[in-house]
Structure 1
Amino acid sequence: MPALRTAAAALATLLMVTACSSSDDGSAETADGTGADEPAGAPDASDAETNASDADATLRFVTPYTVRSLDPVEQGLWSPEWGYGELLMRATEDGTVEPWLLEDLQADDASTWHLTLHEDITFSNGNQLDAEALAAVFDHHLAENALAAANLPGATVTVEDETTLLLETTEPVSNLPNLLAAEDMMSVFDAEALAAAGDDPQAVLDAGIYTGPYVVTSLDENEMVLERNDDYWDGDVALAGASVRFVPDEQARVRAVQSREADVALYPPTSLLAPMVDAGSGPRLAVAEQPLQQFRAIPNLNQAPMDDPAVRRAFALGLDYQAIAEQVLDGLYSAPTGLYPDTVDYALPSQRTDRDEAAGLLEDAGWTLGDDGVREKDGERLSVTILHYPQQPDTEQMALAMQSQLAEIGFEVALELTDDNYTTMRESDSWDIGLSLDGTLGYTYDPVGRLRDFLTTDGERNFGGVSDSTLDALVDQLLTETDGDAQRPLLEQAQQVIADEALVVIVAQRSSPAVVSEDAPGYRPSSVLHHLGADTQAG
């Protein structure tokens, strides 16, 4: 029975991601020239006096995303981000996944897994997380969490002993280690205490249902406050606590750091970051190590004109990725060359700019250029609507650049702002191209799960209505293979199908940025969105 260290060794090699190239030599740097290869929140080793004071320190965050409740399905993804919850597996800064609440993960095959918990894990309410409690977690998610049910088909769990659970699925799930590290897949909580708390949000907050190094002491529509969990099962916790304010306005978030009302502003707009790159004092720009953040352009295949492969391919060829990254986004992004970041060795160079070829494709497909510069076919104009959303303010700049670039090859482009891009793409027909921050490796270095979710016929997040039998078959094969060498040719074939049909386009990519106050000199953003953890330091 191969242990995770053995059974997934080849897969881990395949999934390994090297450091990002935010500087010329390929190393990740912050604005002050400091390397960003430390864990998120790692302290400056030379500042022992500052580190010693962290036991009484707190960090103040501002973010556009609101934590609406502590519900483990609807809002459970926030628990590992903000340190009040943990996952069974953990994505790391060096491009791998490793056990977290689990001590070990073993596979008989891609459909049969043994999950062994660390001993003596307790929820913040004092109850123990054992195999029985973990079985209740799985039962709850499989019944209530559509994403978990879709990615763990026919899953059943059986308690083997006090700390070990047997997980069996009716179809292979080779990427289980990555799925268990995904924040929206399997949050871990005290199911019995949640049931006793019922639907009362305050009762759920008071129930102490998570295991993390921090506990939430208050939560409303404006702010979440966390305090150190003094009984944390895994040792010491560096900070006394943290506050997280929910601030939709991107300029207000940055101003909060500039005025020293906050220590860390997450998801800052690129338009405000350029002046901080070479700043000698004041707030600094800090970036994470891995380039996992990608902005997808998702074509809506359910309606014209994006149901036309020629239009989609022309769209992909008509975008100037280099100009978007370097000019529109001030060089704080990099131009993608394909579906996956080129820091993984299975990435194919499948995206390029060629406006002459784009125009030729449209002409051959019957889209002729009108006097006003907009193409028409059978009396219909080549009009598309690009969806962008305020939580990611750079999507507006991207959409404006795309509007201009696509006009040069005969597209008429309108822009639409939505407060919830997923809901709009799922429920509305008002859009033709949806911009969304959805990296193809996710935040767990998983090239397979995102293919399944976004680009297979029955994918839970297949907003664009993709239905390609060849791609479906390739993903099915990938889900049976735990060996990286066997996965590589399948991944390459999948990338070629996606490029040939232009089923998705990556517009730009980056490592996670943050604006950080002088009062938090050691803070570094997390590549995998673990903004606050037991080791996070203020100094």
Structure 2
Amino acid sequence: MRLPARLLSLSAVTAASALLLTGCFSESASDDSAGGSAGGDGKRVRVAMMNPPRSGLSPLSDDAFKLSRWSTAETLVTLDADGDAEPALATKWQQNARTWTFEIRDGVTFHDGTKLTAESVVRSLTRAATASPKPRILDGVDLTVKADGDSVAVTTGTEDPLVPQRLSSPQLSILAAKAYRGKTVSPVGAGTGPFELTKVNGTSSATLDRYDDYWGGTAKSPGIDVKFVPDGTARAATLRSGEADVVEAVPVSQAALLDEDLVTEVPMPRTNTLYLNTGSGPFKDASLRAAAREAVDAESIVKGVYEGRADVAKGLLGPALPWAADLREPVQRAKSGDPNGRTITIGTFTDRAELPEVAQTLQQRLQKAGFKVKLDVREYANIESDALAGEFDAFILSRATVLDSGDPAAYLYSDFGSKGSFNISQLSDRKVDAALEKAAGTKTGDARRRAVVDAEAAVLATDAAIPMLHERVIQGDAAGVVDVEHDPRERALITADTYVK
């Protein structure tokens, strides 16, 4: 097995036919009409992405992370490699009990030419805070926003040490007034980043052009041409054929077929987890959840499905958060019961090419343990709502654990809090809720890390989720690509410094 030439740590940072790919990026692959290269040579960056938009690229959905990866929508703050907040559209901030005051950067314009003001920030954050459902990062947070001269005052219902980190979430991007004219939020021509989103072609493609008045300096590439290619084999083929410059989420099965110099393996704060429905069905019984846990052989999945390009999970939080392993202690769990031929349905999705194979492996293991197992495998866009509604007995999900705030407490609340918006396990447990509440209210530092690991232990004790492995996402970059990002948090990809030789 040939390993990737590069492996980045957190701090450093099925078959498809040829016809499917023909002309994939032909419309603007070498278009230099957007102007000079400003350090590049005038070529546009062609990107093949995995997941098509699910909500019309609304920043209030997970589509927000696409806007961030294309450097078109920005937030008040960003996060450094350690998860600490750094200035972006806000230059500085301070806390006074429940209120944080953010000073808004001067000289910033939106892509429609209007000026960034405190009122602009209030409008965007208020729309997010009052949305239904709220962005995950605001789960359980009562947040109000008011303008105060050139600053913005953000007040929470209870004292919240994580407000700056929360405001770094791409789902809290600041957009121009034009974005909010309808019932949905449209980011087209409404961001502040170095690239302006100029066209969205449904779920097939998107076009971005350089924004020459960007406050942070002119981008080196004249634009970005995005194609959404859910099929992993087809996506990898765009790199082999030279039709894409940057390819995200290359399937493990395809990595060995690519030139190793074009492949980067990025250890991610992402856990492949088997969520068990604690609200209804067979897994409402804790002893059957324990039986499922004992049937899972994560090591064989890592070796057989991921070809060793993943880490066996010891908990929900993986190697990208090394302090978790140092603090983790053994967890007391329920004893295993007899499945006695109970029928269960496991759901998962095709967008991540390895997951259907993981499902088949689990099916075999669970059937051997005494369950009868049915599989339901679809594209993510067609299965998410059923998963959240508790329609499956179990669901296999590749889940980012620090995606939103850089802090895993938000992920734990969202996925396992009784009022969490992403509670696939339908978990409602007083001990878990108490541990999550404690973690959320603890100030940043060693004490918060301890509280987070205690909350993880409370979740694991329920067997509502069986962590199997921590992924290393594989990214493909053509030989001529310069300064593309390899971001473990999946927030950055094409930046103002990225260009194609």
Q: TM-score range by the shorter chain?
A: 0.7 to 0.9
| Distance 1:517-1:165 versus aligned 2 partners, 3 A rule | same
Q: What amino acid sits opposite 1:139 in the alignment?
A: T
Preserved contact between residue 268 and residue 489 of structure 2 (Cα < 8 Å): no
Q: What's the TM-score, normalizing by structure 1?
A: 0.79
1:286 matched residue in structure 2: 264
Q: What amino acid sits opposite 1:125 in the alignment?
A: D
Selected match of 2:315 from 329, 333, 338: 338
1:155 matched residue in structure 2: 143
2:200 matched residue in structure 1: 219
SS of the residue 2:418 aligns to: coil
1:118 matched residue in structure 2: 105
Please give the per-residue CA displacement for 1:398-453, whole angstroms capped at 9, x wherever unaligned.
Answer: 11121222233223222111323421212352x11111221222254312101111
| Distance 1:405-1:97 versus aligned 2 partners, 3 A rule | farther
The CA deviation at 1:55 is 4.7
Give the whole-Å Cα distance in 2 for the aligned partners of 1:268 and 1:256.
Answer: 11
Is the strand fraction higher in 1 or 2? 2
Selected match of 2:178 from 173, 189, 193: 193
Gaps of 5+ in 2: 14-36
Preserved contact between residue 205 and residue 217 of structure 1 (Cα < 8 Å): no
Selected match of 1:63 from 23, 45, 49: 49
2:378 matched residue in structure 1: 418
Selected match of 1:533 from 489, 495, 500: 495
Please give the per-residue CA displacement for 1:265-289, whole angstroms capped at 9, x wherever unaligned.
Answer: 212221111344xx466xx22123x
Preserved contact between residue 36 and residue 287 of structure 1 (Cα < 8 Å): no
The CA deviation at 1:60 is 0.6
2:131 matched residue in structure 1: 144
Give the whole-Å Cα distance in 2 for the aligned partners of 1:399 and 1:482.
Answer: 39
SS of the residue 1:346 aligns to: helix
Give the whole-Å Cα distance in 2 for the aligned partners of 1:200 and 1:146.
Answer: 13
Give the whole-Å Cα distance in 2 for the aligned partners of 1:341 and 1:71.
Answer: 30
1:252 matched residue in structure 2: 234
1:102 matched residue in structure 2: 90
The CA deviation at 1:522 is 5.2
Farther-moved stretch of structure 1 (67-76 vs 224-233) = 67-76
| Distance 1:285-1:154 versus aligned 2 partners, 3 A rule | same
Give the whole-Å Cα distance in 2 for the aligned partners of 1:31 and 1:199.
Answer: 45
Q: What amino acid sits opposite 1:123 in the alignment?
A: F
Please give the per-residue CA displacement for 1:276-334, whole angstroms capped at 9, x wherever unaligned.
Answer: 4xx466xx22123x421222211111212111111212222321212211222101111
Q: What amino acid sits opposite 1:497 in the alignment?
A: A
2:5 matched residue in structure 1: 32
Selected match of 1:490 from 436, 440, 451: 451
1:36-55 matches, within 5 Å, as 54-55=40-41
Preserved contact between residue 338 and residue 351 of structure 1 (Cα < 8 Å): no
1:127 matched residue in structure 2: 114
Preserved contact between residue 38 and residue 524 of structure 1 (Cα < 8 Å): no
| Corresponding pairs, count | 468
Gaps of 5+ in 1: 1-22, 24-29, 41-50, 368-374
The answer to whether the aligner puts 1:398 opposite 2:358 as a matched pair is: yes
Please give the per-residue CA displacement for 1:488-518, whole angstroms capped at 9, x wherever unaligned.
Answer: 3322322222222112122221233112223
1:3 matched residue in structure 2: none
Cα RMSD after superposing both structures:
2.9
SS of the residue 2:40 aligns to: helix
2:154 matched residue in structure 1: 167
2:25 matched residue in structure 1: none
Q: What amino acid sits opposite 1:344 in the alignment?
A: P
Give the whole-Å Cα distance in 2 for the aligned partners of 1:55 and 1:351.
Answer: 56
SS of the residue 2:121 aligns to: helix
Please give the per-residue CA displacement for 1:211-234, whole angstroms capped at 9, x wherever unaligned.
Answer: 011012221022111111101011
Preserved contact between residue 88 and residue 100 of structure 1 (Cα < 8 Å): yes
Give the whole-Å Cα distance in 1 for the aligned partners of 2:120 and 2:140.
Answer: 19
SS of the residue 2:60 aligns to: coil
The CA deviation at 1:105 is 2.7
Preserved contact between residue 4 and residue 263 of structure 2 (Cα < 8 Å): yes
Q: What amino acid sits opposite 1:285 in the alignment?
A: V
